[in-house]
Amino acid sequence: MGKSIGLLELKSIPVGIETADAVLKAANVELLTATPTCPGKYVIIICGAVGAVKSAMESGRQTAGIYLVGHHTINNVHASVPEAIVGTSEVGHIASIGVIETMTALTAVEAGDYAAKAANVRLMEIRIARGLGGKGFVILTGEVSAVRSAVKAAMNQLEETGDITSSSVIASPHPGLIDKLTN
């Protein structure tokens, strides 16, 4: 079985912490993040086997109750998504970068998964809502044509929701910019 990722967003920090505990007690899943985000919400992201994530997410939805803002499960998530969320991606040579900005934390994770599955790119980071007013963004790298294809694929998949605010592809980024993005 492949890996799944589960995302829960709540409008209560205390109930968010309680929900994170319930999710971890419900099934054998890895907690990628459980953190307050702007504006006063709480995001929980878990990873694990498809069945375990499904079970944990059900427990999370029940515990969150009326405080649940949104939830999403991505089955067979691209292997680079969890690393990009926790900031442990190793990227090597950077020929170009792509950036996708989203209206929500959950959409940033979806955009990263779509992009990584669409072309031969490497996710550098998926930033979710902290200090971003509830928004998220994805930074990816690869050859220019692959980055363009990946960004376009994510944009096409999510255009109907209106959750993507903007995107950019930068060929041959300046070394000073690369240094700031990778440190």
Q: What is the chain's mean pLDDT, rounded?
A: 90
Render pLDDT for 43-70 as a digit per residue (tens, 0 to 9): 999 999 999 999 999 999 999 999 999 9
Supply the DSSP symbol for 148. Answer: H
- 44-65 in b/e burial notation, b at 16+ Cβ within 10 A? bbbbbeeebbbbbbebbbebbe
Domain check: are 107 and 158 in the same one?
A: yes
CATH code, 58: 3.30.70.1710
The domain boundary, picked from 55, 75, 95, lies at 75
* pTM of the predicted model as reported, rounded to 2 decimal places: 0.86
Q: What is the pLDDT of residues 64-115, one digit of tens each?
A: 999 999 999 999 999 889 888 887 777 778 889 999 999 887 889 999 999 9
Out of 17, 49, 75, a domain closes at 75
| Domain of 8, in residue numbers | 1-75
30 pLDDT tier (thresholds 50, 70, 90): very high
